[in-house]
Structure 1
Amino acid sequence: MLDIALLRKNLPEVVARLKTRNFDFPEAEFNALEAERKSVQTKTEELQAKRNTLSKQIGLAKKSGEDASALMAEAGRIPAELSALETKLDEIRTKLEAMMLRVPNLPNESVPVGKDESENVEVRRWGTPRTFDFEVKDHVDVGGPLGLDFDTAAKLSGSRFCFMRGQVARLHRALAQFMLNTHTQENGYTECYTPYIVTASTMRGTGQLPKFEEDLFAAKKGGAEGDGEQMYLVPTAEVTLTNQVSGRMLKASELPILVTAHTPCFRSEAGAYGRDTRGMIRQHQFDKVEMVRIVRPERSYAHLEQMTANAEGILQKLGLPYRVVALSTGDMGFSAAKTYDLEVWLPAQNTYREISSCSNCEDFQARRMGTRFKDEEGRTRYVHTLNGSGLAVGRTLVAVLENYQNADGSVTVPEVLRPYMGGLEVLRPAEAK
């Protein structure tokens, strides 16, 4: 959530910056609510001043033996009037908050201005795409004989799900374990296990609600505890890892907080109709190892670079070519102030595809969650929050299957994964065993 004081002080600049994100701020509505708020607050202050004046007049009248009944009657009407004004002010604040919850974060000044993904800026590349001397297959055709089964998944759950068995299931698990071990043993993160189902207020804290409700899987909480409370399946562990500090006043000594978790992620992909319908690129359920950092404001952009390097390190250890892209203002996620996307090379598509997004949300999520800290001077400040995929496990599996495929249908296991595969060096189709 944006600092409403910033809008009150410099609305034209905020509106212009939001415009670069293809967001039209409801300026007229905001100004009308602000005018009404100021009017109510002015009336409240006038009534409070009148109450104080009447109180003094009543005291003087009683002291001098004069009749104070008229003054007392006038003063007696003020509490009801103040209560009515307070109710009105609460209504205005609720409307302002509902408006602000739908406003995206302001882009950082270093973000390239652009209308959409076509104006993203490539920052760097790593690795050289492999040259094949045979016809390259995509991950669906490579993975099928190894245990990747979309037909069974469709029978069980419909489209955009996958069923894995045998070698592919083990490789998928190995990837997640390798990622977690790297982040916890080398990159300084604390591993967490978090709930997969959360409340609406938890979703609001990181910006998934109310903006993206149609992209979430909802579930009613039943039984004696629930009374039909609306719950949601997590679209990413960012939600739980970040919200663990919601409502807290942290100590400066507690920062930075670096946490990671491996969870399934659930997304309805409401806006992705007809896109990436084949294979594992865009699924309703997929696994991801998430990284979250909760840090001091003055260090957050250094942390963004470090987090991005952490995600890159996974790809480098796997030997997968990739590029880093700075997202333009028109392509960033709702809560982000700046985002780097990591795009891995997929030979079957002859292009780079997103496998990680690393974002600095600055204090946008912290304001929604009410998460602050006391600095060394005793000042109360909002923390900055960052999140990044480290990595999307399914898409990493896709990249491994395609980049490490062999002419005979087998797949070479990347060296760093072999300890997690019992020393297995090559995955072979069942009929070739």
Structure 2
Amino acid sequence: MVSAGDTGWILVSIALVMLMTPGVALFYGGMVRKKSVISTLMMNFSMLGVIGLLWVVYAYSLSFGPDMGGIIGNLKHVFLTGVEAEPSGVYATTVPHLAFMMFQGMFAIITVALITGAVVERIKFSALMVFAVAWLTLIYAPVAHWVWGDGGWLLKFGALDFAGGIVVHINAGLSALALVLVLGARRGFKHEPMEPSSIPLVMIGAALLWFGWFGFNAGSALGASGLASSALVATNSAGAAAATTWMLLAWNQRRPTLLGVATGAVAGLAAVTPGAGFIPPIYGAFIGIIAAIVCYYAMIAKMKLGIDDSLDVMAVHGIGGILGVLAVGLFASAAVNPAGTDGLLFGGGLSLLGKQLVGTVSVGAFAFGGTWIIAKVINATIGLRVKEMEEVVGLDLSQHGERAFGGIR
């Protein structure tokens, strides 16, 4: 039976999560050089169109259709066949099936958008579009089914992911790393200044992400409930703790920066995502502190290794997601969410932590390996990278014929 309250909350959450994609666009757009702002915004905003369309055509069915061997959904719901205003009977049984479908669609959109931050300023837009279609079909849909789909093997195994630590953050982070290694570094990386175009844009984007994350995590309770409230408090606590910790780390090293505080908040929010609805809310703050410290030094290590993950998708989302997924094995409490189980700190032993580790390793390996293959095929056919002169001019003009900051001067 449809609940008006639950339906109202899920519809609001859909809108909140949708707003996160332009939030990512602004967050990323402010961090790139002036000559590639439009390109970066386009990479993200276009996913609302491409992935949003493919989701209703076939990708929802592959992700959440009736199970095929624990690996993928079948094509029962192609073109939204059977997805109606009544609850599905399997997922979110108090809200319309259409609402659940669209909520999950927003997760698919932002996951693909997150990957783009690793490859800005040198990837061909046409190649990115081909990659997005292939990755949604071959990587995202299977992983979403494994973790969240009825009959998915990781769901049956007992791995827990409340709102996307595995499906979104580990998946995007490891895929971004693979794509970077195939594509290569930007021209002049580590030798030329690559100053952000607009730190205020970064802050606005981070604020929109934080705002939208309440729908992302609390919306994953799939109802207007005490669990949604618990997830919301854990989410905000993690973002606040991580932002503060990152500020202190930067202050100790040099001076506190707005870019650092914004990045820290996103790292904390990413890390709490898998456990937001399984942990006591105060543990969100602990997760945020740990995530800020680890992700901060992961960014430093990335630079020393010479990996040009331009906007730190792996360091923030991949590492943050891994930390968060493993933290569920420590901090989960069945008293918070009876659909979960007790982690190590609440008497559950090492069982859940082991399952979380299996989920992390299996999805990480699949995402990295699968993305590597997709990237290699695209590179061997249409090519991944723009020509050298196009990169020098900037992708705004060479790929889109537009400037972010107009005028003749």
TM-score range (shorter-chain normalised) is: under 0.3
Structure number with higher strand proportion = 1
Q: TM-score with structure 2 length normalisation? A: 0.27
Choose between structure 1 and 2 for higher RCO, CA contacts under 8 A separated by at least 6 residues.
2
